[in-house]
Structure 1
Amino acid sequence: MSSPSKSTSTLSQSTAPDTEMDQAHSVLRSVWGYDSFRPLQADAVQDVVRGRDSLVVLPTGGGKSLCYQVPALVRDGMSVVVSPLISLMKDQVDALTANGVAAALVNSTQSMDQKRETADRIRRGEIKILYLAPERLLTPKTLAFLRSLPISFFAIDEAHCVSNWGHDFRPEYRGLRILKEQFPAASVHAFTATASQQVRDDITEQLQLHEPRVLVGNFDRPNLTYRMLRSDGKLNQIQQCIQQHRGESGVVYCITRKEVEQTAAALESMGVRTLPYHAGLAAEIRQANQEAFIQEKVDVIVATVAFGMGIDKSNVRFVIHAGMPKSIEHYQQESGRAGRDGLAAECVLIHSGGDLMSWKRILENGDRNNFQSAMGSVEAMASLCNGVQCRHASLVEYFGQEYDADNCDACDVCLGELDVVEDPITLAQKILSCVVRLKERYGVAHTVKVLTGSKDQKVIQAGHDQLSTYNLLSNEGANAVRTWIEQLISQNHLIRTGEYQSLRLTESGRALLKREGDVTLTKVSAKSSSRRPAANASWEGVDRQLFDHLRSLRSEMASERGVPAYVIFGDAVLRELARVRPTSIDKLTHIRGIGDRKREEFGQLFLDSIDQYCEKNPLVRDQSDNTAPAPINKPRANTAPNAAMVQAFQLFRDGRSASEVAEKMGRAESTVSKYLSDFIQSENITDPTQWVPKEEAEAIRAALLAAEDERLRPVFEALNEEMSYEKIRIVATCMKNEMADDADD
C-alpha cells in the first residue's frame, strides 16, 4: 500500500474536472440550500467525486455527511454508507428523503417484506445512497448482492472505530478491510471527528486505502463556549446552566448509570422536561427516550456516554458533563455535539478531585493491558480541567494544531471568570514544601489533609501533624487546596507517580520553591458567568417570539411525519426566518439551508405562519440588515439539594417507606433516614404516623418532651432502647415543625 499524501489545512479545489465540481455546487445549492462548502468540505467532495481514496477528520459539526452525500448525487451508480447505529442511519435517511434524495437503509428492525422492497428498488436503480451497519455489510449474502451492482464508493462513518488505538474501537469495523479486495472499482472514504496521527495511520492501513489523501480540519469550534467548573453543589450548577438555556435542547453526561437516574429524576422534579438514557435501560426504552429528545418532546437528555454517537441533532444548545470524561478525545466528541448548526452553544464540565480515582477504579476492572495508556488519557483530561490556559487553545494544541488567537472570548479563562490568586508563588511554595516534607510518598488526598490540619487517624499515626506545613492552609478549605494541587499538576510543577499516584516535584516545581519561574493559581469560587457575546450575536435581529412560533409549527410537522424536528428545518433556518420575515416563496431562495424540495413542500406553510404572526404583531418584513438583539434569559439564583436527595424526596411523596427508598436507590438506610428527616423538615410535615405507628410516635413524643436537651441518646435510653434512632429523629423533626407553626401563629 502506498503512503498517503496529507494535508492539515484548507486545500484549494482545482484538480477535479470543473464540470463535476460545478455539478457538486449545483447539488449543494438545489438540494441543501447552501451556496458554498465549509472549509475542507470542497476538498473532501472533490476526492470522492474523483474516486480517490481518502481519510477525512472533521470535528463534530464540521459537516462530514455532506462530504459523501453530495458526491453520491454526482457520481453514477449507488454509494454505500457504513454507519454503526440504526438510529443514526434512520435519521440520516429521513433527512435525505425530506430533501428529495433517494436514500434507504437495511437493518435488523425491518420486516422481510421491507427488506425485499428495498432490494427491488436498488435493482431498479432507484436508490442513490444505501446505509448499512458493518455487521450486515460483511455477510456473504450482502456482499454477493452488492457485487452485482454498480457501486460508486463506500463511505465509512465513525472510522476511528477501525483502530484499536482509537477511543471507541469496534472489532467488527476491522472486517471492512476486505472492501478494496471485493470491490476494486469502488473508492473507499473514511470519516471521523477525532483521530490522532497514530489512529489516522492505523485507519489507512487497516482499510487498505490506496494512495489516500488525508484531510484534517481545524479542531477548534469557535461557536462553543467552554467552562470548567469545580463541583460545588453539582445539581445546582447543572440547574443554573439549564435555566440559562430554558426551552432549548441539551445533554447532561454522567459517569455512572446510577447518577444518570438520580440526576434525571431530580431535574424532572424541578420542572425540566427530561429523560434518562444509559445501557442498563431496555432497548425499547432507550429508543423511545432518544426519539423523544430528537423530536423535541423533551428538552434535556441525561445520559452516560452510551448516548451520542447516533445523534444527528443540530440544535443542541448546551452539553453539561456532570463529571470528568475519561479522555480529551471523548470530551471533544461529546462536547462537540453542541452547536452543530454553527450557532453559539455552551459546554460546561463540572469536575472534582474524585473523578480521577473513579475512572481509575472503572479502568482497573476493564482491559488491564491498556490500563496505563487509559490512565494517561484520564490524567491529560484532569490537567485540562484544572488548567488555566485558554480552553480552545488547550484542545487544539492537544490534537497537534496551533491556536493563533490571544483571546478566544469563548471560555471561562479568556472571559475572565476565574479569580486569580494574588500571590500564587508563595501559595505554591507552601504546597510544594508540604510535598517535600512528606518525602514525595503521598497522594493528593493525604497532602490536602496535612495542609488543612485534618485529625484523620492516618495523618496522626504517621506523625504528619508534627510537620511545619501541618495546618498551614486550614483557612482555605480542602476544596481550594485540592484545586491548587491539581493546577500545579496541570502546569507541570507536580506529577503523579507510581501505583498510588504519589506526588513528586518536577524540575520546574523545585525551581518554584526558590521563587524561580511562573505559576497561576485560581480561587475556587469563580466569578458569576454569563452568556458569551457570540450568543447574543446569533440572536441579533431575531424576533424571539416568532422563532418560538415557528418552532411550534416545526414540532407539529415533525410529529405528523414521525421524523426529527431538524429534518423539517434547523434552528439556524428558523432564526433567519424570524429575522428576515420573508413575504414570498421567491424570498425563501435567499434563506441559507432551504433547498428546492423543502421550499416547495414546507415554504408556504411557514410563510402563512409568519403572515399570521405579523398580522397580530406588526413587524417590518423582508429584512436584510440586523436589528437590535433579543434579550437573553439570565440564570436564576437557587440553592438546590443534591440529585440523590431530590430523588428520595419524590419517592417519599409517593408514599414509600425509608426501607423501600433505600432498596430502590441502593443506599444505606441510615443515609435515607437522613434524607427523610430533611424531607419532613422541607415539607413542614407535623404528623409522623406515615412512617412511625401512632402508639410508638406518642411514646417517643412524650420522651422528647421530658428530655432536657435535643440529644437523642437520652431519649433512646428512656424508651428502653426499643425505638430506633430513625423513628426518634422522624418524630423530633415533626415536633420542631409543629412548634415552628405555633410560633408563627
Structure 2
Amino acid sequence: MTQSPQSILKSVFGFPEFRPGQLPIVERLLAGTHTLCVMPTGAGKSLCYQVPALMLERPSIIVSPLVALMDDQIAGLAANGVTAAAIHSGRDREQNVAAWRAFQSGEAKLLYLSPERLMTGRMLDALKPVNPGLFVVDEAHCISKWGASFRPEYEQLSQLKHHFPNATLAAFTATADSATRTDIAEKLFGGEGDTVVRGFDRPNLNLAVLPKAQWKPQLLGFLAERREQSGIVYCLSRKLTEEVAAMLKAEGYRALSYHAGMSPEMRRENQEIFMAEAAVIMVATIAFGMGIDKPDIRYVFHLNMPGSMEAYYQEIGRAGRDGAPADAMMLYGLGDASLRRRFIDDDGEDDAHKRREHQRLDALLSYCEATQCRRITLLSYFGEPGSKACGNCDICLDPPVLLDGTREAQMLFSAILRTGQVFGAGHVIDVLRGGDTDKIRARGHDALPTWGVGKDRPKPFWQGLIRQAVAGGYLVVDIDQYGGLKLTPRGEAVLKGRETFQLREIVPAKGEKKPRRSAASLAAEADVDSDLLSALKGLRRELAAERNVPAYVIFSDATLIDMCHLRPGNLEQMAAVNGVGPKKLADLGEAFLAAIQGQAGA
C-alpha cells in the first residue's frame, strides 16, 4: 500500500481533500475493521469505500439493491479511469461472463452484485478462490426488520461473515435509528466492529408541513415558482400517481409517473428521462427513489403522509444532494394517518412489529404538529438532541401562535365520549356544529348536550384540533372500529379539568406564505455568473446524452460552480478545479475550457 488515501482521492477522483468524516471511515476499512456507517445523503459515502477498494490488494464486492444504481456507479468510476464490473439481470449472458472474467483476472477490482445474485451457492463458491478482502453493503437499512424498507433478500447477507471470515464487512445507510443500527451490526458482523454515525442533519433542506385542505391548488401553488426545477411528488397509490401526473401535464409541466403497476421498460424509460433532463417532475409511489442520485432535485412534495419518520427522512433525502437549497413539503391529513394505521394493522407481522410501527407513525404525527423547529424534532428522533433552531423550516420562519385550547378540547372530547367513542371525525364534527344529518337524527345525537356547542367554529378548526389531539396523544384512531375516535387517559384528564390543552393556532389554509428561491437565485446565492453556469450545464447535458450516462457522472453541480469561480484558462488551471481528476481532465477538459472561453467572448 504505497499510496495514501489522500493521494488516491486527488489522483483518481480529483478532490484535494476528504469531506469531514470520510477519512476515519476509509482508515477503519483499510485497517480491517467491520464498520457500519450512517451518513446523511450527499455526504459522499461512495468515496468512503471506493478509495479503500482501490488501495487494498484483494478485490472488493459492492452489494447494491438496484441495477440502475450499479450501472451509474460503474459509469462514474469509468469516467475517472477506474475499471469496475457488475453482474445483473439487466445485462445479457455475454456481458455478465465478460464482467466476471474482468473481475477474476484482476482487471476490475470492484464487482457490483445484487444481494440475490451474491448469496446464490454458485456465486459464493466462485468467489471463494478469488478471496475478496472487502464486502460493502449499500442501503444497509434494508437488512433490518426494524427499518423502514426491509427486504427479505437482504437478510441473507447475515451469512457473509461465515462464508468469508477473513474479509472486512462494511455497511452504509443514510436512514437508521438506534434500534435499526444495532440490528444491522448484529446481523452483518455479530455486533463486532464499529458504528460511525456522521449525523442526520441536512441544513440545506427547508422543512415544511401544511394541513391538507384542497391538494390540487396546494400542489399547484407550490409548483408555480418552480417550473424550471426538477422534483419528486410522492403519492400513496398508483391511481393517485396517474391522476396527479395527468393534471400536471394539463397545466404545462413535464410530469412523468412511476409506480409498481407500470411495465419495467416504462419505469426505466421515465427514470432515465428524469435523471438526464432538467425541469422534470417525477410523480411516484415509494417504488421510486432508492439509489436515485440526481444532484439537482430541488424539492420533494408529499401529497400523502409517509409511514414513519425513517421513510420520511429517506424520501426527503433525495432533494438537494448538491448541497444547494431545496424544499421538503408535506401535506398532512387525518385520513392519511388513519389509512397508515390500517396498513400497519393489516400487516401479517407479529404484534411487537405492529406496536413498533405504530410508535414510528406516532413520531411522524408529532413532527407534523410540532410547535418548535422541525429540524430539532427530526434530529431528536434520530438521537441527536440539543440541536439549535435551524431558522430554515416553516416553524422557524413563521412561528405558530400557541393558545389555551382547553375549553374547545373539552367540547370535542365530550362529544366523542357522549356519542360512544365509535365515530370518526366527520360525524363528531357534525355533532359539535349542530348538523342536521340522517345519521345524527337516527341516533338521537341532536338531543345530546354537546350538539351544536361548537357551531361558532368552522369545520377546518375542528379538523385541525382533532389532528393536534391525535398527534399529542389525547385521542387515538381505532382502526378496528373504522376510524372511530377514542379518548386516551391524557384526553380524559383534559376533559375532567386535571390538565390543560395547548392549541397551536389553526388558520385557514392559504397559499405559500413566503417566496421560495428559484433556480436563478440559487446561482446568485452561489455568487456565480448564472449565464456561464447555464452554459456549462448545457454542455454537461449534451455530453451526458452522448454517453448515455446521468449528468452528474460528467461533473457535479459543485464542480461546475467551482469552474465558474476559478474560470480556468488552460488545462493546468482546469486541473485545480474541485472534482476534475486526470481522466476527466483528459476527456472533458478541452470541451469545458472552450465553453468558458466562449461565454467570456459572448
TM-score normalised to structure 1 length: 0.75
Asked whether the equivalents of residues 440 and 504 of structure 1 are also in contact (C-alpha less than 8 Å), the reply is yes
Which amino acid in the other structure matches residue 486 of structure 1? R
Find the counterpart in structure 1 of residue 16 from structure 2. Answer: 35
Q: Which residue of the other structure, out of 574, 593, 596, is the alignment partner of 1:607?
A: 593
Q: Which residue of the other structure, out of 499, 505, 511, is the alignment partner of 1:521?
A: 505
1:514 and 1:202 map into 2 onto residues whose CA distance is: 41
Deviation larger for 49-58 or 178-187 = 178-187
Secondary structure of the 1:104 match is: strand
2:236 and 2:501 map into 1 onto residues whose CA distance is: 37
Tell whether 2:387 aligns with 1:414.
Answer: no
Q: CA deviation at 1:50?
A: 0.8
Tell whether 2:563 aligns with 1:577.
Answer: yes
Asked whether the equivalents of residues 85 and 100 of structure 2 are also in contact (C-alpha less than 8 Å), the reply is no
Which amino acid in the other structure matches residue 338 of structure 2? M
Tell whether 2:213 aligns with 1:232.
Answer: yes
Asked whether the equivalents of residues 138 and 173 of structure 2 are also in contact (C-alpha less than 8 Å), the reply is yes
Asked whether the equivalents of residues 230 and 280 of structure 2 are also in contact (C-alpha less than 8 Å), the reply is yes
Secondary structure of the 2:209 match is: strand
Tell whether 2:113 aligns with 1:132.
Answer: yes
Asked whether the equivalents of residues 157 and 192 of structure 1 are also in contact (C-alpha less than 8 Å), the reply is yes
Q: CA deviation at 1:79?
A: 0.7
Q: Per the alignment, do residues 71 and 269 of structure 1 end up closer, same or farther by CA in structure 2, a change over 3 Å counting?
A: same
1:45 and 1:388 map into 2 onto residues whose CA distance is: 40
1:299 and 1:117 map into 2 onto residues whose CA distance is: 36
Asked whether the equivalents of residues 356 and 379 of structure 1 are also in contact (C-alpha less than 8 Å), the reply is no
Q: CA deviation at 1:72?
A: 0.8
Q: Which residue of the other structure, out of 185, 195, 203, is the alignment partner of 1:214?
A: 195
Find the counterpart in structure 1 of residue 542 from structure 2. Answer: 556
1:237-272 deviation per Cα after TM superposition (whole angstroms, max 9, x unaligned)? 222333333222211110000011111111112111
Matches within 5 A, 1:659-698: none
Q: CA deviation at 1:376?
A: 3.6
Q: Per the alignment, do residues 439 and 117 of structure 1 end up closer, same or farther by CA in structure 2, a change over 3 Å counting?
A: closer
2:370 and 2:424 map into 1 onto residues whose CA distance is: 19
Q: CA deviation at 1:424?
A: 4.1
Find the counterpart in structure 2 of residue 377 from structure 1. Answer: 360
Asked whether the equivalents of residues 484 and 521 of structure 1 are also in contact (C-alpha less than 8 Å), the reply is no
1:596 and 1:202 map into 2 onto residues whose CA distance is: 41
Q: Per the alignment, do residues 302 and 190 of structure 1 end up closer, same or farther by CA in structure 2, a change over 3 Å counting?
A: same
Asked whether the equivalents of residues 386 and 483 of structure 1 are also in contact (C-alpha less than 8 Å), the reply is no
Tell whether 2:253 aligns with 1:267.
Answer: no
1:433 and 1:440 map into 2 onto residues whose CA distance is: 10
Asked whether the equivalents of residues 550 and 574 of structure 1 are also in contact (C-alpha less than 8 Å), the reply is yes
Matches within 5 A, 1:59-458: 59-209=40-190, 211-296=192-277, 299-367=280-348, 369=350, 370-405=353-388, 407-416=389-398, 420=401, 424-438=405-419, 440=421, 442-458=423-439
Secondary structure of the 2:564 match is: helix
1:221 and 1:297 map into 2 onto residues whose CA distance is: 23
Q: CA deviation at 1:555?
A: 0.9
Tell whether 2:465 aligns with 1:481.
Answer: no
Q: Per the alignment, do residues 606 and 424 of structure 1 end up closer, same or farther by CA in structure 2, a change over 3 Å counting?
A: farther
Secondary structure of the 1:471 match is: coil
Asked whether the equivalents of residues 523 and 529 of structure 2 are also in contact (C-alpha less than 8 Å), the reply is no
2:45 and 2:492 map into 1 onto residues whose CA distance is: 44
* Larger-Rg structure: 1
Secondary structure of the 1:244 match is: coil
1:363 and 1:493 map into 2 onto residues whose CA distance is: 21
Q: Which residue of the other structure, out of 1, 4, 7, is the alignment partner of 1:26?
A: 7
2:425 and 2:214 map into 1 onto residues whose CA distance is: 21
Matches within 5 A, 1:501-650: 501-507=484-490, 510-511=493-494, 513=497, 516=500, 518-525=502-509, 528-531=513-516, 539-616=525-602
Q: Per the alignment, do residues 104 and 609 of structure 1 end up closer, same or farther by CA in structure 2, a change over 3 Å counting?
A: same
Secondary structure of the 1:198 match is: helix
Secondary structure of the 2:601 match is: helix
Q: Per the alignment, do residues 551 and 453 of structure 1 end up closer, same or farther by CA in structure 2, a change over 3 Å counting?
A: farther
2:221 and 2:576 map into 1 onto residues whose CA distance is: 38
Which amino acid in the other structure matches residue 601 of structure 1? D
Tell whether 2:471 aligns with 1:490.
Answer: yes
2:88 and 2:96 map into 1 onto residues whose CA distance is: 8
Deviation larger for 365-374 or 316-325 = 365-374
Asked whether the equivalents of residues 163 and 203 of structure 1 are also in contact (C-alpha less than 8 Å), the reply is yes
1:265 and 1:211 map into 2 onto residues whose CA distance is: 51
1:37-78 deviation per Cα after TM superposition (whole angstroms, max 9, x unaligned)? 333322221211111111111232232222211111121121
Secondary structure of the 1:499 match is: helix
Which amino acid in the other structure matches residue 200 of structure 1? R
Which amino acid in the other structure matches residue 560 of structure 2? L
Secondary structure of the 1:414 match is: helix
Asked whether the equivalents of residues 444 and 503 of structure 1 are also in contact (C-alpha less than 8 Å), the reply is no
Find the counterpart in structure 2 of residue 678 from structure 1. Answer: none
Matches within 5 A, 1:50-61: 50-61=31-42
1:493 and 1:361 map into 2 onto residues whose CA distance is: 19
Secondary structure of the 2:480 match is: coil
Q: Per the alignment, do residues 366 and 188 of structure 1 end up closer, same or farther by CA in structure 2, a change over 3 Å counting?
A: same
TM-score normalised to structure 2 length: 0.92
Tell me how many residue pairs correspond in the alignment: 595
Secondary structure of the 1:350 match is: strand
2:221 and 2:563 map into 1 onto residues whose CA distance is: 30
1:538 and 1:74 map into 2 onto residues whose CA distance is: 40
Asked whether the equivalents of residues 304 and 330 of structure 2 are also in contact (C-alpha less than 8 Å), the reply is yes
Q: Which residue of the other structure, out of 422, 426, 451, is the alignment partner of 1:470?
A: 451
Secondary structure of the 1:151 match is: coil
Q: CA deviation at 1:126?
A: 1.1
Q: Per the alignment, do residues 38 and 565 of structure 1 end up closer, same or farther by CA in structure 2, a change over 3 Å counting?
A: same
Secondary structure of the 1:148 match is: helix
Q: Per the alignment, do residues 533 and 115 of structure 1 end up closer, same or farther by CA in structure 2, a change over 3 Å counting?
A: closer
Deviation larger for 194-203 or 317-326 = 194-203
Which amino acid in the other structure matches residue 362 of structure 2? E
Asked whether the equivalents of residues 431 and 445 of structure 2 are also in contact (C-alpha less than 8 Å), the reply is yes
Deviation larger for 462-471 or 23-32 = 462-471
Structure 2 unaligned residues grouped into runs of 5+: none
Q: CA deviation at 1:186?
A: 1.0
1:437 and 1:255 map into 2 onto residues whose CA distance is: 34
2:383 and 2:472 map into 1 onto residues whose CA distance is: 18
Q: Per the alignment, do residues 422 and 174 of structure 1 end up closer, same or farther by CA in structure 2, a change over 3 Å counting?
A: closer
1:481 and 1:505 map into 2 onto residues whose CA distance is: 18
Q: Per the alignment, do residues 372 and 516 of structure 1 end up closer, same or farther by CA in structure 2, a change over 3 Å counting?
A: closer
Q: Per the alignment, do residues 438 and 537 of structure 1 end up closer, same or farther by CA in structure 2, a change over 3 Å counting?
A: farther
Deviation larger for 460-469 or 277-286 = 460-469
Q: CA deviation at 1:457?
A: 2.7
Q: Per the alignment, do residues 244 and 37 of structure 1 end up closer, same or farther by CA in structure 2, a change over 3 Å counting?
A: farther
Q: CA deviation at 1:514?
A: 6.1
